Structures are given as structure tokens and as C-alpha cells.
Amino acid sequence: MSYNIDAAEPMESPFTDMLDEFAQYLRFEKGASEQTIAAYCHNARQYLVFVHTSVGKETLSETCETDIVTFLRYLAELGLSERSRARYTSAIRQFYRFALAHGHCAHDPTELIASPAFEQHLPQVLSVEEIFALLESVPTSTPEGIRDRAVLEVLYGCGLRVSELCGLRSDDIAYESRIVRVRGKGSKERLVPIGQVALDWIERYRRDAYPLLRSPKYAATTLFLSNRGRQLNRMAVWLIVQNAAKTAQLGMHITPHTLRHCFATHLIEAGADLRAVQEMLGHADISTTQIYTHLDRLYLREVHRRFHPRW
């Protein structure tokens, strides 16, 4: 094979221009750290260049499971450890999930690729007290502050992905039945309950902030607006969360996706049924939701360690 995995300046492929969009997906939808984003983009780029230069694929839709297996075998021939190959597998899997969700390919060949046991990483979760501190840290004396508080309350109160929150419309909120209509991955709709606290902040936002943020220049139909009256985007939501975390002095890396993790974990810690949490999160496979049962066991073990006299 002519491709050199260690090349300082790897050749371009017809689909490496998707990597910038992939980085945005990891940052704003998955809540990945900058270190993880850099590693995943690097590994995905190596794979994409490989399937173009060594396998001869011209489009992402042409790639298949065999291409991934061939690439992983090539890495093994180069002497990369099993753990290093697992990191490549994880990056490739995330890339195909992104590509499928954003219409860059019609299938996900990684569905047939086994995941090494150590590939899974437990997400960071705040305690209930830390979440309350985060929410209450937002000053609400301005329209922007009221909006930011409403955004945080909805993220945590409904467990939404950041893209789902940005796409909410005013008529998606059913106030009397306390239900939110959410458009998830693949344009699939689901109904998610919403608590009274989050509803109260939405009502305050619509009454006191929305009219002041709305601009005649833009015909925004979404619920949450930017400072210029446009649809709130993922980067803006990320900054809202970052600013709140800094004000609350939590001392940890917090992203919009962290609030989704907290939503699920706190429900399960309180005894919620796993299937119900799966429905609210919009997970197609319950195995994706089961990671939160692992977090729950860690929580129970920590409680036992702290309070049992015979630990």
C-alpha cells in the first residue's frame, strides 16, 4: 500500500472537506473537548485519505465495512496497539454517525464493526446542587439574560440535544399539557414532558425578552433568538453554557451536552424507568441509554463509600 499513515502532509481526498463540519458536530452537538475533537478529526482524516488513495473510493457512500476492516488491519501491520486502533474505530464510528445524520451518506458501515470493551467513556455529570448553581448563576436583568436562563432550563428540563433546542418553534410548546414537540435525528419527532419551572422561564422569555430580540430584518420562526434576532445557533448555546459555568465557578468543562447527560442521570438516580428515559432522549437503541445505568451504579457506590460505617 502506498499510503503513509505517518505522513506529515497527508494527501487530500474528495470528502475531507467534511471534517470542519464534523468538528462543529463534535463540539456543539456531542459536547466533546477540544482535545477529543482534534484527535477524532485527525483519525477520521487518516481513514478518509486511506480509503481514497489505497482503496479508490471517490464518495463516502461508496465506502463499506470492508474498507474499515482493511484500514484497521493496515494499522495493525504498522504496529499500532489494540488501544490505539480502538481510538481510530471510535473516531470512524462518530464520523459515520455524523455523516448519516447530516445527509452525507445513506448508510453507516460501522454498525457491523465490534466496539472494544474499553472504547466507552462515561460522560461527565454534575450533581443536582451543581446544576442548580449553574442555572441560578445567570443574571436575568436583560433580555439576553432571560433568554439564556430559559435556554439552560429547557436543556436540563427536557434533555434536548443542542440542535433540537435551536430548532424549537413557539408552537412546539403545549403549555397546558406540559409537552414539547422535538425534532430529533433523521427528522424524527418525539414528545417530551417539560416541568413547570422551565415553562415559567419560557413564558417570561416570550413576554419580556422575545419582543425585544426580534428583528424586522429576519423572519425567524424559531423560539430562541440571537442578540440580532436570528435563530439561535449551536455556537451561541455553547457560549451560554460556558459563561454560566464560569460564573458558577464549577471548575470543570461543561457543554450543552453535559446538561443532557445530567437530565438522564438524575432521572435514573431518582428511580425513573430506563425505557421512559430512552423515549425522552430519543435514543433508537436502549443500549445507548444504558450508559446512564453505569453512572447510577457509580453514584450508588460513592454514596455507600461516603456514608456506610464499614467501608
Cα torsion 116, 85, 121, 113: sign = negative
Cβ atoms 157, 195 nearer than 8 A? yes
Q: Which of 52, 257, 261, 266 is catalytic?
A: 257
Phi and psi for 173 in degrees, rounded to 5?
-100, 120
Is 88 annotated as catalytic?
no
Is 57 annotated as catalytic?
no
Is 257 annotated as catalytic?
yes
Q: Which of 25, 40, 47, 292 is catalytic?
A: 292
Q: Which of 3, 204, 283, 299 is catalytic?
A: 283
For residue 196, what is its C-alpha cell?
413547570
Nearest to 198 by CA among 162, 259, 151: 151
Is 107 annotated as catalytic?
no
Is 292 annotated as catalytic?
yes
Q: Which of 102, 185, 190, 204 is catalytic?
A: 185
Cα torsion 167, 193, 153, 199: sign = positive
Is 253 annotated as catalytic?
no
Q: Which of 161, 234, 261, 266 is catalytic?
A: 161
Nearest to 47 by CA among 83, 94, 82: 94
- Residues counted in the chain: 311
Question: Look-up: residue for cell 477529543?
Answer: 36
Q: Which of 52, 57, 260, 266 is catalytic?
A: 260
- Give me the active site residues, please: 161, 185, 257, 260, 283, 292
